[in-house]
Each structure stands twice: as structure tokens, then as C-alpha cells.
Amino acid sequence: MKFLKIITLLIAVSIMPLCAEAKSNDKKDDNIIDAVTVKEGITVTEIEESGKVKFEFTGSHAESIKKNRLKVHNLRATIIQTDGSEIIIMTEVAYYNKNKRELTTDQYVEIISGDGVMTGIGMYLNTEKKIFRLLKNVQIDSLRKSDELGLNLPK
């Protein structure tokens, strides 16, 4: 009987570290940070329920700086408008917040649309709320030809 108690005690003592390690591993899983590093090209696409692409951006590389927030380098974003025309946005570094669906930067930004180029320093874009702002030093250059002003002036 004494022999059985000793074996039971030895088994219990040998199993205890395994149980403690399993519990400590569970705690580690709760603290995992959403970490992503993309070294060669990244593409993020937002698709409507209908399956139509409404917003997409690419970058040469990216890294997560917080959970659900990416720092994207050499960003080129495309916004597809309801009429099918595209607006292209380019900047060296931008931050994408997946939860808020925001794209922001404090860098030089160039925007190209069908009829012009707009540049500025700093940008805020929220694709869900459809808000876009250039923050400062905004310049607009029209690419239209002089006979295509489209003002519909009476003759």
C-alpha cells in the first residue's frame, strides 16, 4: 500500500510541471499581437456586397505597427467611383486602419483623376464614410484642353 502511494505521488509530481506549462501557454495565447510584415508587395481590396471592387491599394512593402493598423510603403490607391471612373492616390508612406477603414499620411500626396492632378501634404481618407481630405499645401492642375471646359455657356 505504501508503495502505491509513493508511485502515485511520483506521478503527480512529474505531471505538475506539464499542467503548469499548459496554463502558461494559454496565457501567452491571449497576448499574441497581430503582427504582419510583408517584404515584397501588398494589396488590400475592399469589395461591395455585390462583388464590385470599390477601393484597392498596393504597396511595395508593409508592416503592422499596432493590431489592425498597417504602415504601407510606396502606396498606390485606387478609388472606383459609381460611374466606373478611377481616382489614383500615390504617396511614399501611409497608415491603414482596418477597423476604421481609414488611410492616412503626413507625407506628400498626388491624386490623379480623369481631368486633373491634385497634390498636397497630408491626407485623410475614410472609405466607409466616403470622406477625403488633403491637409495642406493643396494644388490643383487641370489637364483639360482649353476647348473642353464644359461650362455650357450660352452663345
Q: 26 and 42 in one domain?
A: no
Does residue 153 fall inside a structural domain?
Answer: no
| pLDDT of amino acid 90 | 95
Closest CA to 128 of 38, 42, 30, 54: 54
| pLDDT of amino acid 36 | 61
Q: 101 and 57 in one domain?
A: yes
Rounded average pLDDT over 37-51 = 79
Residue 153's pLDDT band (cuts 50, 70, 90): very low
Closest CA to 82 of 111, 52, 58: 52
Q: How many structural domains is the chain composed of?
A: 2
Q: 63 and 2 in one domain?
A: no
Cα–Cα distances in Å, from 73 out to 18, 93, 94, 100?
44, 5, 7, 20
Does residue 155 fall inside a structural domain?
Answer: no
Q: 50 and 123 in one domain?
A: yes
Contact by Cβ (8 Å): 120, 109: yes
Domain that holds residue 3: 1-32
Higher-scoring residue by pLDDT: 111, 32 = 111
Instruction: Provide the whole-model pTM.
Output: 0.66
**Percentage of the chain lying above the pLDDT 90 cut:** 25
CA distance 103 to 132: 9
Rounded average pLDDT over 122-128 = 90
